[in-house]
Amino acid sequence: MLTILFDGVAYGMLLFVLACGLSVTLGLMNFINLAHGAFAMAGGYCTVVLVNQLGVPFALGLPLAFLFTALLGGFLERTLYVHVYARSHLDQVLFTIGLVFMSVASVDYVMGSSQQFVQIPDALQGQFNVFGIGMGKYRLFIIGICGLLTVILQLILAKTRFGSRLRAAVDDQRVARGLGINVGAVFGITFAVGSGLAGLGGALGAEILGLDPTFPLKYMIYFLIVVTVGGTSSITGPFFASILLGIGDVAGKYYVPKLGAFVIYAIMIAVLILRPQGLFARSTAR
């Protein structure tokens, strides 16, 4: 029971790191980015190449994965995404689905369609046994890293100048622009960092989530659930939503394995019907 809770929390933390970038882009630019999972996959494959093939240590591979996807995200944002912000949601959905298809096929072409594994250092393998609860070392590591990231993100958002600019821009883009905040630049940076975090999440999660070319399609729905259920106005909303989702999914798969993800979808639809703006939304004014 507690093991399930523990695994669920680890899974949820991972989902949060993967999805928080998406929640900011959606809240800030009202942009539906279905291709977010493609960045996560890019990070995962980057780590696979670095760690397994080039022999880079795992601890160095993770920041590199972050850097690589952040650069990739920033580049794509400046070259492609900027053209689509002002378009209708339908256009955005089509555009990003197109990107997903392209990323799936090109990864398949370069890396092959089989599932990839990152070689995890021995120090992170095995289990602790605390009060009779088995806790995987790697999962504990994930919780640690993701928890740390969450705290850092929260601090950046709440304490720094950039954070207050970002919050201002999310709350009301036009007024923020009027106050002299360069919303485009804020958004570009946020997009890059969000993609980078997704990449880091993909690298960390390759072991738990499984990494193959269909990754963006498989997990797209999970990211979207986090964002829609959590709301886009803060990062605490998506955080609790991902923890809930993580626990719900692990528990659901454990207790009713044949029903699979049915439980999750049912919960999502129920939440969206009752609270169309998300569970933790502040206002419905937008």
Partner 1 sequence: MTPTPTAGEISAYLKRRARWSPLEVAFWVFAFATIWLFPDKYLILKDSAILALFALSLDLILGYAGIISLGQAAFFGFAGYFAGLVAKYGVVNEPVIALICAGLVAAALGFVTSFLVLRGTDLTRLMVTLGVSLMLGELANRYSNITGGADGLQGVEIAPVLGRFNFDLYGHNAYVYCLIVLFVCFLIARRIVYSPFGLSLRAVKGNVLRAAAIGIPVKWRLVSIYTVSAGFAGIAGALLTQTTAFCSLDVFSLDRSADLLLVLIIGGTGYLYGGLIGAVIYKFLQDWIATLTPQYWQFWIGLVLVIIVLIGRERMAGWIAVVRVYMTGVVGRLLPNSAAITGDMQQGR
Q: What phi and psi, each to the nearest 5 degrees, are found at residue 128?
A: -95, 155
Stretch that binds partner 1, among 2-10, 56-64, 117-125, 265-273 (CB under 8 A): 265-273
> Is residue 282 near partner 1 by the rule CB under 8 A?
no
Cα–Cα distance, 29 to 232 (Å, whole number): 11
Parallel/antiparallel/unpaired status of strands 127-130 and 133-136? antiparallel
Helix (H, G, I), strand (E, B) or coil at 10: helix
Helix (H, G, I), strand (E, B) or coil at 127: strand
The one among 221, 251, 279, 281 contacting partner 1 by CB under 8 A = 221
Which residue, 281, 228, 214, is CA-closest to 19? 228
The one among 104, 241, 245, 247 contacting partner 1 by CB under 8 A = 104
Write out the two tokens for 97.
Answer: 């689905």
Smaller CB separation from partner 1, 98 or 134: 98
> Is residue 226 near partner 1 by the rule CB under 8 A?
no
> Is residue 268 near partner 1 by the rule CB under 8 A?
yes
> Is residue 80 near partner 1 by the rule CB under 8 A?
yes
Cα–Cα distance, 84 to 191 (Å, whole number): 14
Binding to partner 1 by CB under 8 A, coded x per residue (else -) over 127-166, reads ----------------------------------------
> Is residue 181 near partner 1 by the rule CB under 8 A?
no
Cα–Cα distance, 286 to 269 (Å, whole number): 21
135 C-beta neighbours (distance < 10 Å), count = 18
> Is residue 112 near partner 1 by the rule CB under 8 A?
no
The one among 94, 156, 181, 251 contacting partner 1 by CB under 8 A = 94
Cα–Cα distance, 195 to 60 (Å, whole number): 18
Secondary structure element (H or E) that encloses residue 129, with its range = strand 127-130
Q: How many residues bind partner 1 (CB under 8 A)?
A: 42
Q: Cβ distance 188 to 81 under 8 Å?
A: no
> Is residue 115 near partner 1 by the rule CB under 8 A?
no
CB of 88 to partner 1, least distance (A): 8
DSSP at 213: T
Stretch that binds partner 1, among 45-53, 103-111, 196-204, 239-247 (CB under 8 A): 103-111
Smaller CB separation from partner 1, 158 or 266: 266
**Binding residues for partner 1 (CB under 8 A):** 26, 32, 80, 83-84, 87, 89-91, 93-95, 97-106, 108-109, 217, 220-221, 224-225, 228, 258-262, 265-266, 268-269, 272-273, 276
